[in-house]
Structure 1
C-alpha cells in the first residue's frame, strides 16, 4: 500500500517519482455495483455557494486534484481498475437543464461507465457544483477526499492526495489480521414494504428530495431511525459504517463502507437505538456484512440479469431487504469547499437506489445545519410521500414546537409604502407652523426645519452628492444637525453620524472606511484635524443659513426606495476594527411605524434628544416625533444631574428616550416630574429596582418601556412595558416580544432551536435586519447567516429565554462583548489599539464588575517590551478610541496567567485598582475636614470601596468609576454637601473635575462653590 503524497504535477506529465501506477483488483462489493444499472449506482455530492467558479479554473483544478487522487480516473480492464491518466470531464450546464428545487436533471440520471467520475458546473444563484462518481469506484467518503483536493487547488494549495490503491477486500484483510475474516452474515430477507409506497415498475428512474434542518444533532442517525420505526413500523434498518475508522492512516477513495443491520422496534427510543448501534460497532459487526466473494464467479452480463430480476420481484411485491438506509456522511467544513471568489453555503448528497433495497436517507452536517436527502424511485405520489418522510425526519431532529413560537407571529402591513423622506414632506405640509424643534436655539417650525433641510440638499447637489453617496455628519445635538439629516436623505444619500467627542484619528478612520467623499461639519468642530484624504468638508452652519432662493432653485427629493441606504453607524469590532452597519430605508420605515404605534407617539409628544447622533437610538428621538407632528427638544449639554433636572422640570418634555444608566441617575434625583407619559429605556439591561424607582418617580400613568435592539436590527426590535405587579419578583425587566414583521429565534451552541423556557442565543430576523457590514463579507457570512428555511437572520451573541408570560428575558452574552454607557464594546478592539503602541508586546482587555457598580468596566493588562507608564497608554488610547472604550485602569505585567488550555486566565489577573486596597490597616491619613470626609463617604457608596482607604490623591476613574457613576457621585455631592445656591457654580467646573477627578480636587471645588455648614 502506498502512502499519501503532497507532491502533484501538471496534467499529462510523468508519474510522480517513486509512485507506482494505480492498479487494483475489483472487489466483490464493487462487482455488485457494476451489476446495477449505471444510472442508479452513482454517488452525487452537490456544493452550493455564493460567488463565481470559472469553468476553465475548475477543469484545471479537477485535473490536478485527480493526479493526486487517481481513483477519480479509473477505467475497468478485465476485472481490474486502472488509472486511465485522463482527468474527469467538467460539464457546464444551464439553469434550464438543472432544476435545483426538484433536484432533477438529465445529467443526474446519466450513468458513469467509461469515465467513472465527472463534474457538473451550474452557474447561477446559487452556483452549484456536482461531483459524481460511479459507486463501484468511490463511496461518499472517498468522493469527499477528491472534492476537497479540487478546492485546495482552486485556492492555490497543494492537494493532500488519496493515492492508496487499497480496496475493500485488502482493507478487510488488514483489519482482521491475524485472526482472519469473521463469518459472512446471512443475506437479509426481502420482507419489508417501502415507506414510500410501491414502485410503478422496475424501470423507474431515481427521485430525490431534500430538506435542511437547523443545527447539528448528536446521535442524529439514531434519532432519525427511531422516528422512522415509530412512523413506518419496526424492522431492519441499515446504517452504513466507514471501514476507514479501523485504519485512519489509509487515504483511499475506494468504496469502503459496510452496513450495520439494526433491528428497531416501533417503541424503541433513540437512546436504545443508539445503544444498539454503538454495541454493534464495538463488536465490529459491519465486517461480517460484506459481499460474498463467490459473486465474482458470475460473469458481469449474468450478474446484471440476476440483479434486474431481483429488482423486478421487489417492485412487483413491494418487499425489500429493510425499511430504510440511514447514512450519515458526518460533519464537513464549508470552508474546505470555498475559494476567494466562491463561498460554499451548503453541501448535500444524492444517494443511489439499489435493487431490492429500501429508500436511502442521507445526512450531512455543516456549521449550524443538517442537510437531509431521500432517494427512491419515481412514480405517482412518490414525491409527496418523500416530503412526508422528510417531515418525520425533521420533526425527529428539530421539533416543530421549538421552531414555531407564537411571539413570532408579527406580520403586519405597513400603513404606508413611502420612505421617511416622503413621510416628513407630508408632515411638513400638514403642520407647517407647528413646532418641530425647541431648545437653546429657540423654537423651529416644521416649515423652517424643512427649508433648512432643503438648503443642505441644495448644497449637496452642487457638490455632486446624490443617490448612494455617504455623507459624514460631525455635529452636536443642534437644529443644524437635524436639518442635515433630512437634507442628506432628500438627495438620496445616506448619512454617517459622527460623535464630536471621539478623537480625530477615530473620526478619520470611520470616514475613510465608509468611503465618504464629503463631511458636513458644524462649528467649532471645523477646526479639528479629522477629515481624511479624499474627503472634503462643508461648513454646516453656512449651508443651513443659506436660505436664499432655496424654493426657486431646490430640486425635488430623490426617489428613495426601501432598498436604498438611510444611514451607516459604526460599532465596535471584535477583529480590532470598527464595523459599519448599513441601515436601509425599508428597515427604518418598519421601525418607525412599529415604534410609533408601540410607544403611543402622536402630535402631542415632546421628546428630548439626549444621545449623540452617532448612537442609533437617536433615531427614536428624531424620526418618531417629527413624523407624527410632535416636537423634538434639543439638549445641547451632555446629560448630568443638573441638566437632567432642568430638562425634567422646565423643558416641557412629556417623554424620554435614554439608557438604563441615565434612568438610574434620574431616579436618584430628589424630584417628582409631572406630565410624563412614556419613558423608553434602551441600550443596557434594565434592572427591576431601577424601573420600580422610575415608575414611582414618574407616576402610575407613565409607561416605562424596556426596548431591546442591536444596531444591526435598526434601533429596537422588541419591547416590554414594565408591570410593577408582574415583574416585581424578577431581577431584570423582560425585553418583551418582537416588533412588527420581526422575528426572534433562540438557538443553542449547535444551532438547534431550544425548548420553550430554555436559554438560547438570539437570532433576529425580519424587516429591520440591516443590509450588513460595509465592506466586510467575512463578517456578513458569520453574523448574518441563513436559517434552514431560507430566512436571513442576525446572530446577536445575546442570550435570552421565553418566560411563561410569553415575553423574552435577556440573560447575558456568549462572548466578551460588553455595554458601556449603552455602547457596544468589543474588548478585542481595545486590546488591538493598545498593541499599536510601540512599547506594548501583548495586551488583554477584560470587563469586570466591582462592588457598588451596576455594570461592568474595562480593565487593561499589557506586556511591555520597554518601559512605559500607564498614563502614556491612556493618552495613546484616548487619541484613538472613544472615551467609553478607554479602560478604567491599566497594569503593566511581567507575564500573563494562562489556563491549562492556553487561554488567558481572566480570574487570575491581578486587581488593576490598587488604590482601593493598597492602604495599610491604618487606612488613609487623618483629615480634619468634614467636607472631604463626606465626599469620601459618597465616593465609597458610589464605587463600593472602603471610605477609610480613600486619601486626598484617590482618583475616581482609577477606582473604577465611569461617566455615569461620576454623575451619580456629583448628584449625591450636590445634594448632601453643597449649599442650595452653589450647585450651578460647582457643575460649571465639571471640565476641571474630569481632568483631575481626585478626592482632594473635588473637595476643593466644593469649598469654592459653597458648602452646607453641617457638611
Structure 2
C-alpha cells in the first residue's frame, strides 16, 4: 500500500531481466504479452485516484537500446506513470536477445512479476498461460488469515540513523544505479550471510536490515501478481556471525512478524498530495542528514528455473532482478537463485563514485557467499605461453625436414624413417584433396596399430580434414553408426578390414594399402589448419543410449603436445610403444609426442598379452610406456626387471598405490611413474602427478596431481558452490584443451559444457575429487553410474538400451558392481523378458552391436524387476549374478583343479564354487584380468616352449573362457 503514496519515478519500479541465446521479435513478444496479461489482469492495472482498475490494455512492448550497456540504458530510467501504464516489456533483439519486464511497485512485487514473465514465455512456447486472477492486495490477504492470537505487534519505527553504504547522495540526483554480480552456487542462509558481512564490513559490526517477506507463503495455493511483500527488521549485533543472524531471521519468520501492521488505518484517509509531500520530506531529510532507516534492504526473491524462460530457439542464460528505491531507503540488495548460480544486484541513487562503491559492496557479498580462497586455488595458476604457436601439421613437417633419415616408426614391418612416413602421409593427403576433402570434413580411419594407420593420421591432417579413429575389434553395426553420425563420406581402410560391410554402407572406402605406393604431386603443399579447425573426433559412451563424438580442435591438441612433451621429458631419444587402440584418445600421447620431438614410435600390432608385453619390455628397445593401470598391473605380474626405462605414463583409470609401487620396484628408482588424468573432452590428459613412494605410500590411490599448462580444475559441490580445501567436489575442467563440444549434440553441450559465474567455459566431468594437504588433487569416485572398463568410459544406460533392442527383452537394467576380490567394477545386465531366451543369446546380441568392453560380464533374465517405493528400479535388490553356482560342483581332473585354483586367486572368489563349466567373465573377470589368469596358467602349468602354443589359442579362449576349455588347451599344449 505504501507505494500508492509515492511520486512517479523510475526508482519505484520493479524489473526482471531475462538474457538468452537466440532471437525474439517484437511481434512475437507483443502477442505473448497480450495473452499473458489477459490471464493475469493485475498486469493491466492503472490508477484512478485511490483505486486500481483494469485498463483492458496489455502492457506495451518496445525495443530497448542497449548501446551503452543494458544497465545504463535510458529506457530503464524512464518513470512508469501508474495513471496511464503501470507495466511494460522491453526487448533488445538480436542473436542474443534480452527481455526486461518492468512494473510499478504498486501493482506487483518481484515474485509476482516473475510469475507473470514465466507466463509470457509459456505463451511463446505455444502453451496456455496459467494466469493469476486473484485480486487480493496485501492488507486484504493479511486480514483474511485465520491466525490464532491475532496479528503480531507493530514493528518499532526505525528512524533515520544508518549511514549509506555507498556514501552521500549527490544533491538533486534522480537516476537509479544498478550493479550486478553472479556468484557460483546456491547458498543456504544467503540473506543472513549477506547481512552479517555488510554489518561487519560497513557497519562497524552492527546494522539493521529490512528483509521483504513474500506473503504468498501464507496462501501457497494463491496465484497472484499483486504486490504482496512486507518487510521485517533484521538486527545484527556486534560479534554476530551469519549463524546468529540466521537464527534471528528464522525467529521473525516463525512469529509471522511480517504480518504486523505497517501504519495506522487513519493514514489511509490522508489526502494523497499530503502523503506524497510527507514521503518527499522524509527522502529529503535522509539525503540532508546522510542517514537512512537501515543499512540495506535485503530481498531474496527465491529461485527460478531457466527452462521456464525458454521458447523456440531462445534459451535463457540468466534471469536477474533490478531493485527499487523508496523514501528514506538505503541501498537495496536483491538475490535470485537458479541452478548453480546466485544473481546479486544492488540498486541506489546514482552519482559520482557510486559504481565503484557498489562494486566494493558486491565484493563483500561475493566473499561472504563464495570465499576467494575456495575460488582461486593456487594450482590453477597455469598460464604459460606456448613455445611455438604453429599447428602439429607444421611442426611435423619441420621435424621431417630436419631429420628425414631418422627412424620414426619401428615394429614387425621394419623401420620407417621420417621421410618415408611423410611420403606415405602425403599420398593419403593428396588422395583426399583430389576428392574434395578439406577443412570441416570428417574422415573415418579403420586400421590397426600399423605404419599405414600412422601415415593416415598425418595424411588426413595435412589435407586439412579431421579424422575419426575406429577400433577394428568393434562390430560392424557400431562402426556403421559412428561413420553415419559423423557424416563421413570417406573412410581410410587397411586390409583385411576392407571386406567388412561397415565401410561399404553409406561411406566410400579408400584402401590404405593401395595408397602406400602412390605419390603426392611434386608441388604438394600442406593445408595449414586454423587453430579452431578440427583435428579429430573420438566417440565415447553416452548416457542417453547414443555414443557421442567429442570434437578436438588443433589449438586443443597443440596445447597438450607442448605440455606433455615437457611434463613427460619427451625428446629425440624417446622410444615410446603404441599399445592402445587408435579409437582410444590416449593413443595421441604415443603418436604425437615422440614424432614431434624427433623420437620413435614402436608399433605393437597385436593386442597386449603377457607374452607380447614381455617381448616388448625385453627386446623392443623402448624406454617409455603409455598405458592403462590395468595393463600396468598385468606387467607387474611378470617376473621381469626391465632396464633403461625413463618414464611410465599411466592414464584411463584410478591408479592404485600398490600397482604404482610394484611398477616403481620393477622399473627402478630412476624411472618416473606418472599418473595422468583427463577425459576425452579435455584432450587426452590435463593433470599429472609423479608417483612418490615415500609421500604417496599411505594413500589408497595415486593423486592425479596438478593441472597442465593453460588448463584449470575447479571443484564444486552439488549446488554449484566452490568447496573448501579437503572437501569433495565435482571436477569442472577449463582452459586451452577444452573440446569444441559434441558433434551434432547441442543438447549435451548445454548439459556438460557450462560456464562459471565469471564466464569461464568448463566441462563437467562427473568425477569427484578433493585437494590433499599437499595441494594436489585426488580423484575419489563418480557422481553417477558411469564406469571405467579398461580405461574406456561406459554409460550403463547405453548398454541397457542396446539390450532392449532384442525382441525377447521388454526392459533391461545394467549396473556396475564391484568385482569380487578385484579392484574396479564390472558390468552386469538384467533383462525382463517376454519369451524364453538364454543369457548366452543376449550376450551374443550385445557383442554384435557394442564394443567388447561394453558387453556385461553376465546377463540375468528376470520375470519381474524390483522397484523402490518411489517407483525407481531397486538396484540393490537385483539378484547376485554369481549366486547361481551349483551347491555340488561337478568333479574336476587335476588340470582343471589347478586352473580353478588360479581362477580363485585371480578373481578373489571361493574356489569351492567353481566347476568345469564356470565362465571367467560371468564370475566378474574382464579381459585384462583374463590375461593375468592366462599368464599364471602358463607360469604354473606350462614350460616356456608350451606357453607359445597355448597362447596361440587366445582367440578361442575369449569365445569360451571356461575352466574346462582352458584346462583342455593347457593339456594339449603339454602334449
User: Do they superpose with TM above 0.5?
Assistant: yes
Match of 1:475 in 2: 447
How much has 1:54 moved relative to structure 2? Answer: 2.4
User: Is 1:552–2:533 an aligned residue pair?
Assistant: no
Match of 1:29 in 2: 2
Which residue, out of 639, 651, 655, partners 2:624? Answer: 655
Which residue, out of 75, 78, 95, partners 1:110? Answer: 78
Which residue, out of 193, 201, 206, partners 2:171? Answer: 201
How much has 1:370 moved relative to structure 2? Answer: 0.4
Q: Which aligned pairs between 1:38-187 and structure 2 lie closer than 5 A?
A: 38-96=9-67, 98-100=68-70, 103-113=71-81, 114-124=84-94, 126-176=96-146, 181-187=151-157
Secondary structure of the corresponding residue to residue 726 of structure 1? helix
How much has 1:534 moved relative to structure 2? Answer: 4.1
Distance in 2, matches of 1:87 and 1:488, equals 60
Contact 1:609 1:622 in 2 (8 A): yes
User: Is 1:639–2:612 an aligned residue pair?
Assistant: no
Deviates more, 1:197-206 or 1:611-620: 197-206
Distance in 2, matches of 1:347 and 1:905, equals 38
Which residue, out of 283, 287, 292, partners 1:311? Answer: 283
Match of 1:1004 in 2: 968
Q: Which aligned pairs between 1:165-314 and structure 2 lie closer than 5 A?
A: 165-176=135-146, 181-233=151-203, 234-314=206-286
Match of 1:919 in 2: 886
CA 1:268–1:758 in structure 2 vs 1: closer, same or farther (change >3 Å)? same
Q: Which aligned pairs between 1:477-556 and structure 2 lie closer than 5 A?
A: 477-531=449-503, 534-547=506-519, 550-552=520-522, 554=524, 556=525
Deviates more, 1:642-651 or 1:173-182: 173-182
Match of 2:918 in 1: 954
Which residue, out of 902, 916, 921, partners 1:938? Answer: 902
Match of 2:927 in 1: 963
**Length, aligned pairs only:** 971
Distance in 2, matches of 1:393 and 1:749, equals 21
Match of 1:20 in 2: none
Q: Which aligned pairs between 1:423-434 and structure 2 lie closer than 5 A?
A: 423-434=395-406
Which residue, out of 581, 603, 613, partners 2:550? Answer: 581
Deviates more, 1:814-823 or 1:905-914: 905-914
Secondary structure of the corresponding residue to residue 858 of structure 1? strand
Contact 2:66 2:72 in 1 (8 A): no
How much has 1:66 moved relative to structure 2? Answer: 1.1
Secondary structure of the corresponding residue to residue 931 of structure 1? helix
Secondary structure of the corresponding residue to residue 428 of structure 2? helix
How much has 1:577 moved relative to structure 2? Answer: 0.7
Distance in 2, matches of 1:340 and 1:656, equals 51
Match of 1:12 in 2: none
Match of 1:438 in 2: 410
What per-residue deviation string (whole Å, max 9, x for no partner) do you get for residues 963-1007 of structure 1? 001100011111111122111111111111111211111111111
User: Is 1:598–2:542 an aligned residue pair?
Assistant: no
How much has 1:494 moved relative to structure 2? Answer: 0.8
Distance in 1, matches of 2:725 and 2:821, equals 35
Secondary structure of the corresponding residue to residue 299 of structure 2? strand
Distance in 2, matches of 1:561 and 1:736, equals 31
Q: Which aligned pairs between 1:773-812 and structure 2 lie closer than 5 A?
A: 773-812=742-781
Distance in 2, matches of 1:290 and 1:517, equals 74
How much has 1:529 moved relative to structure 2? Answer: 1.2
Which consecutive unaligned segments of at least 5 residues does structure 2 have?
A: none
Distance in 2, matches of 1:125 and 1:238, equals 39
Which residue, out of 608, 625, 639, partners 2:594? Answer: 625
- How much is the aligned-residue C-alpha RMSD, in angstroms? 1.5
Match of 1:23 in 2: none
Contact 2:675 2:704 in 1 (8 A): yes
Distance in 1, matches of 2:675 and 2:169, equals 59
Distance in 1, matches of 2:125 and 2:834, equals 38
Match of 1:757 in 2: 726
Q: TM (normalized to structure 2)? A: 0.98
Match of 1:15 in 2: none
Contact 1:38 1:134 in 2 (8 A): no
CA 1:292–1:785 in structure 2 vs 1: closer, same or farther (change >3 Å)? farther
CA 1:658–1:178 in structure 2 vs 1: closer, same or farther (change >3 Å)? closer
What per-residue deviation string (whole Å, max 9, x for no partner) do you get for residues 393-428 of structure 1? 111100111111111110100001111111111111
What per-residue deviation string (whole Å, max 9, x for no partner) do you get for residues 31-67 of structure 1? 23xx233211011100111122222212211111111
Secondary structure of the corresponding residue to residue 545 of structure 1? coil
Contact 1:162 1:252 in 2 (8 A): yes
Distance in 2, matches of 1:134 and 1:775, equals 45
User: Is 1:723–2:692 an aligned residue pair?
Assistant: yes
User: Is 1:711–2:711 an aligned residue pair?
Assistant: no
Match of 2:738 in 1: 769
How much has 1:291 moved relative to structure 2? Answer: 4.5
CA 1:759–1:44 in structure 2 vs 1: closer, same or farther (change >3 Å)? same
Secondary structure of the corresponding residue to residue 900 of structure 1? coil
Which residue, out of 319, 331, 349, partners 1:359? Answer: 331
Which residue, out of 830, 850, 864, partners 1:881? Answer: 850
Match of 2:638 in 1: 669
Deviates more, 1:987-996 or 1:897-906: 897-906
Contact 1:71 1:83 in 2 (8 A): yes
